[in-house]
Amino acid sequence: MSRLDTSLESAGAEFLVMGHLLPEGIQAFKAYTNFPGYDIIATNPEKNTSCRIQVKSRWATDFDGGFPIRNFECEFVVRVALNPGYRYRRKKDGGTGRKDPQFYVFPVEVVQAAQKSSGKWSMAFLNRMDNPAQTLANWDLIRTFLAIEDKP
């Protein structure tokens, strides 16, 4: 199976993350230059705190739960499952596999502990993490890190 060019989808995932942070009262800015360890900077100007967020997206709904990562110079990794449909196998019911995107918010240490290295790249897998479902859209992890007190 050929490799897809998912650069457009990757950029979209970064904007989706920002689109979830902002209504949560978390100021966020896209890093428009290619910074190797992060894509978004979230801040709390009142407390003078900030954090770097790396966004990792996966296109297919039926992916294996893994995502490549080699740079851990950030405080959080948000794994976005875009879920536009099946790529690797068709379901017998004939469904497309299309569903809403899912956002997993991980402190970088959790991702580092879940990695499996091979060569210069590492893969982090959801099944190597304790209860990844508890991190689904858990923007409070970032809010707490930034010492943002009130949710809007």
| CA atoms of 7 and 9, how far apart (whole Å) | 5
User: What pTM, to 2 d.p., does this model score?
Assistant: 0.84
Answer yes or no: is 2 within a domain.
Answer: no
How many domains does the chain contain in total? 1
Q: Is the residue at 108 inside a domain?
A: yes
**pLDDT tens digits along 115-126:** 877 666 678 877
In a domain, 151, yes or no: no
Is residue 30 one of the residues assigned to a domain? yes
Q: Is residue 121 part of a domain?
A: yes
Q: Tell me: the pLDDT tens digits for 40-96?
A: 999 999 999 999 999 998 866 666 667 888 889 999 999 998 876 666 566 655 666
Q: Residue 30's domain spans which residues?
A: 7-145
